[in-house]
Amino acid sequence: MNAHTVFPPLDIPETIAAGPGPGQTDTRVLARFAGAGLADHMQADVLRGMIECKHMLRTLWGTANTYTFGVAGTGFSGLDAMFSAVQPGDTVVAFVNGTFSGIDGQTLRMKAATAEELAADPLNPQATSVVTIDVPHGTSVTRDVIEAALTEHKPKWAFMAHWETGSGRINDIRALSDFCEATEAMGLVDAVSSLGVSDFAIDDYPGIVGWASCPQKGVACLPLTYAPVSFSDRYIDVLKATGARTYAHHPILEARHWAIIDGQDAEKGIYHRTHSGYAVAAFHEALRIALEVGVANRAAEYTRHEAILREAVTLMGCDVTSDMTSLLVLDLPTTFKGREMELVQACRAQGFGIWPTLSEPVQVRVGILNLLSERAITDIALRFGQALNDLGAHVDLTEIETLLSNRYSQALAA
């Protein structure tokens, strides 16, 4: 290969995104993305679309927070915006019970580290002002754990992931909100995996001042569009007093791009961002779909389909340890312990995109993001059963298919 090599076109085959995310992008979203006219980022319809997205996001989040908008990029972009309020030396309690809350905890240590602490270990500073509460993998962060930590440490900030996809566990945001109020801490929540899947309204959790999510999971949009965020007035007041440790994702400046100025909606934005009309079109359609279905209805659908798939893989001899409704995290039958990566790689080679866990213990993750139909769940179950059989199991696929058919027939009759 030399410097002038021109590679052939990149063909990416169809796969089933049956992991923790990104999920399957709705065909309506893809059509809007591809069908958008060639327009600059200041074209009138692009700006109108942003205004409408902002209002739809408030409905999806269940909030009256004016500072509710999208941060260009992935979930990490939204999280970076939320964490930007944390200053060196700020006291923080971070609850960690899996891979992604662990990454969030690392980010908080970077934000809260003093210059000396950051220089001592730039990639993983040990900020003395940050208390990390480690909860074992596969275990939820519970009310008693939250109460004990916040009552003892009384931090400025308290962080938790709502749904931890590393282990598939749901954490208690009600308790986080309650004890933030009791101790005057300000709660920050990673809602990357719960927005658009779980039926909740953030205004019901007044102790939590900052929320960040992503476009490509429950919102069912393309990954590189807009990460939904929402901030209370209390959070914004802190930013006004202390500033933010970011340029690209400064919440107040980003809000101005979305025509949110001095806490009020404006006719048009005043802060310049060169963004994509295609991304606006896709994000707008994804939000329209979410609101057409309704948050409660979509949450109920996830609950129904997850329960049926859970029963199917349990019949195959797997032990499901998660409690999320968009993702199964499971142990393989004892005979196949240690062969998780072999199974995952074999599935992915056949266009069936399941995932392993990214930290110990190694488990298998099978997701159903935007795969809410009898046909999709049956396909996932039978593919997974066949993969187990390819390892040497004896899963009766006819029995699995009959189980699924019966469960969906019962649900239809009900």
pTM of the model: 0.95
Range in 34-38, 47-51, 241-245, 388-392 with the lowest mean pLDDT? 34-38
| Whether pLDDT at 5 is above 70 | yes
In this prediction, residue 414 carries a pLDDT of 62
Q: How far is CA 228 from CA 54, 116, 165, 370, in A?
A: 9, 33, 18, 18
Q: What is the mean pLDDT of residues 293-298?
A: 96
Summarised one tens digit per residue, pLDDT across range 155-209 is 999 999 999 999 999 999 999 999 999 999 999 999 999 999 999 999 999 999 9
Summarised one tens digit per residue, pLDDT across range 182-196 is 999 999 999 999 999
As given in the structure block, the two tokens for residue 76 are 């990490």
Residues with Cβ within 8 Å of residue 195, at least 6 apart in sequence: 60, 61, 213, 214, 217, 218, 219, 228
Percent with pLDDT over 90 in the chain: 87
Q: In angstroms, how far is CA 251 from the centroid of its own chain?
A: 19
Q: What is the mean pLDDT of residues 14-43?
A: 89
Quick one: which of 170, 33, 195, 47 has its CA closest to 97? Answer: 170
Contact 105, 79 (CB under 8 A): no
| Whether pLDDT at 413 is above 70 | no
Quick one: which of 16, 20, 21, 179 has its CA closest to 95? Answer: 179
Q: What is the mean pLDDT of residues 280-293?
A: 96
Longest CA span, the chain? 65
Cα gap 269→254, rounded to integer Å: 9
Summarised one tens digit per residue, pLDDT across range 48-101 is 999 999 999 999 999 999 999 999 999 999 999 999 999 999 999 999 999 999
Cα gap 391→394, rounded to integer Å: 9
Alpha-carbon torsion (204, 210, 216, 219), positive or negative: positive
Q: How far is CA 339 from CA 99, 292, 342, 343, in A?
A: 21, 42, 5, 6
As given in the structure block, the two tokens for residue 190 are 């990673």
Contact 113, 125 (CB under 8 A): yes
Quick one: which of 255, 393, 372, 256 has its CA closest to 325? Answer: 372
User: Residue 342: what are its φ and ψ, rounded to 5°?
Assistant: -60, -45
As given in the structure block, the two tokens for residue 365 are 């993750």
In this prediction, residue 278 carries a pLDDT of 92
Query: Cα 278–56–197 angle (5° rounding)?
Result: 95
Contact 265, 20 (CB under 8 A): no
Summarised one tens digit per residue, pLDDT across range 328-337 is 999 999 999 9
In this prediction, residue 124 carries a pLDDT of 93
Summarised one tens digit per residue, pLDDT across range 86-109 is 999 999 999 999 999 999 999 999
Cα gap 205→228, rounded to integer Å: 17
Quick one: which of 10, 11, 8, 18 has its CA closest to 348? Answer: 18
In this prediction, residue 2 carries a pLDDT of 67
DSSP 8-class letter at 75: H
Q: How far apart are the first and last CA of the chain?
A: 62
- As to burial, measured by CB atoms within 10 angstroms (0-12 exposed, 13-18 middle, 19+ buried), residue 198 is buried
Residues with Cβ within 8 Å of residue 196, at least 6 apart in sequence: 60, 213, 217, 218, 219, 220, 290, 295, 298
| Whether pLDDT at 267 is above 90 | no
- Alpha helix ranges (H) inside 316-392: 340-349, 374-391
Q: How many CA atoms lie within 13 A of 332 on its CB side?
A: 25
In this prediction, residue 41 carries a pLDDT of 76
Q: What is the mean pLDDT of the chain?
A: 94
Summarised one tens digit per residue, pLDDT across range 121-145 is 999 999 999 999 999 999 999 999 9
In this prediction, residue 269 carries a pLDDT of 82
| Whether pLDDT at 250 is above 90 | yes
Q: Which 3 state secondary structure label does DSSP give 363?
A: coil
In this prediction, residue 272 carries a pLDDT of 75
Cα gap 124→1, rounded to integer Å: 38
Summarised one tens digit per residue, pLDDT across range 353-408 is 999 998 888 999 999 999 999 999 999 999 999 999 999 999 999 999 999 999 99
